Chain A
């Protein structure tokens, strides 16, 4: 387990900034005097409290399975891929949101993109190809994706047209159970 390098930190924050409007809250000091830090172990990036990260140094790299919240994975080419496990953090400061109706929640959780017919409402002034968090109508975050059309264009779209390309959904906890945390 180690801290991120300059470049790694930049790529991670760059990806998070696609979905979140306020990044400063991520590293803001807590009331207890503690703060959150990013740690890398087995090419996975974890978002964890500093005190816990310090405790975790007593565990060897191979023995350490996970700590804090897994944000995603650093690929071999140096890019960063967000996992569904990062959803609670992203959803806390989401930049753009899409709410899907109840009839659209299941198709989304099974891994399909969001079509216009399933959209209950969406945040205004959303440009195309920008990150957005997908919620159910009861404001429960279901996953995240990338907008296929801007809000203005999406209004003119036919009901079967794709509004949001899925990036991750909560169904992955079951579908990718074997590879989500290790491997």
Chain B
């Protein structure tokens, strides 16, 4: 008998849990007192089981409550995807309204802070500019050096070429003299050495 009842109750469990939560609780409390008073009776044992079952819907309730407790942060919803923008929400426990700066001391402190910050920025800017300037100067000097070296090399090659040309010119002068001698010779009439006709001869068979 008991197992059949349990099966029936299992099927009915979700409905019963949602509809009659309070009644079941009451019965369970009553049941506990009754069981304590009549612990020896066998007939009441299934009744205890029945009364014990409504605890299951009670457990479900607890779970539901836990689900309700979840906050947006726990669910991992990004902050920007909220109805109220991040900047608009004001922190709790903080005074409403603006805090004005009108007294001399607070003005002076803000002023000193700002000025020190600005001085630091400008100083670092100047330092950086100077460093950059030094680097540029070094690069410029190096480039000038290279340029000068290249020019010197070019001049050297030019000079060497000129020298070579001069030598050639001197050599050409000697040849010219020889040519002139030959001309003289030809003018006098000794042509034998100069003109030699080429002759073709067939080899004897």
Which residue of B has the minimal Cβ distance to A5?
A: B98
* Closest beta carbon of chain B to A13's beta carbon, Å: 4
**Does residue A43 face the partner (Cβ distance < 8 Å to B)?**
no
Q: Considering the chains assembled together, what is the distance between the CA atoms of A129 and B112 in angstroms? A: 23
Given the complex, which residues of B lie within 8 Å of A130, measured CB to CB?
122, 125
**Does residue B143 face the partner (Cβ distance < 8 Å to A)?**
no
- Main SS class of interface, B: helix
Given the complex, which residues of A lie within 8 Å of B107, measured CB to CB?
9, 27, 37
* Closest beta carbon of chain A to B103's beta carbon, Å: 9
Let me know if B114 and A152 touch, CB within 8 A: no
Residues of A within 8 A of B (CB): 2-6, 9-10, 13-14, 17-18, 23-24, 26-27, 29, 35, 37, 95, 125, 127-130, 150, 152
User: Interface size for chain B: under 10, 10 to 19, 20 to 34, or 35 or more residues?
Assistant: 20 to 34
Given the complex, which residues of B lie within 8 Å of A27, measured CB to CB?
104, 107-108, 111
Let me know if B104 and A127 touch, CB within 8 A: no
Let me know if A4 and B118 touch, CB within 8 A: no
* Closest beta carbon of chain B to A165's beta carbon, Å: 16
Which residue of B has the minimal Cβ distance to A4?
A: B101
- Knowing A9-B110, A13-B110, say if A4 contacts B100 (CB, 8 Å): yes
* Closest beta carbon of chain B to A43's beta carbon, Å: 14
Q: Considering the chains assembled together, what is the distance between the CA atoms of A37 and B108 in angstroms? A: 11
26 contacts between A and B (CB under 8 A): A2-B98, A2-B100, A4-B100, A4-B101, A5-B98, A5-B99, A5-B100, A5-B101, A6-B99, A6-B101, A6-B106, A10-B113, A10-B114, A13-B110, A14-B118, A17-B114, A17-B118, A27-B104, A27-B111, A37-B102, A37-B107, A127-B122, A127-B125, A127-B126, A130-B122, A150-B129
Which residue of B has the minimal Cβ distance to A151?
A: B129
Which residue of A has the minimal Cβ distance to B119?
A: A17
Let me know if A3 and B101 touch, CB within 8 A: yes
Let me know if B126 and A125 touch, CB within 8 A: yes
Q: Which of A3, A23, A127 has the most CB of B within 10 A?
A: A127
Let me know if B101 and A9 touch, CB within 8 A: yes
**Does residue B133 face the partner (Cβ distance < 8 Å to A)?**
yes
Q: Considering the chains assembled together, what is the distance between the CA atoms of A37 and B111 in angstroms? A: 12
* Closest beta carbon of chain B to A30's beta carbon, Å: 12
**Does residue B115 face the partner (Cβ distance < 8 Å to A)?**
yes
0/1 interface trace, chain B 71-114, chain A, CB 8 Å (1 if under): 00000000000000000000000000011111010111011111
Given the complex, which residues of A lie within 8 Å of B126, measured CB to CB?
125, 127
Given the complex, which residues of B lie within 8 Å of A152, measured CB to CB?
129, 133
- Interface positions, chain B 130-153, Cβ under 8 Å from A, are 133
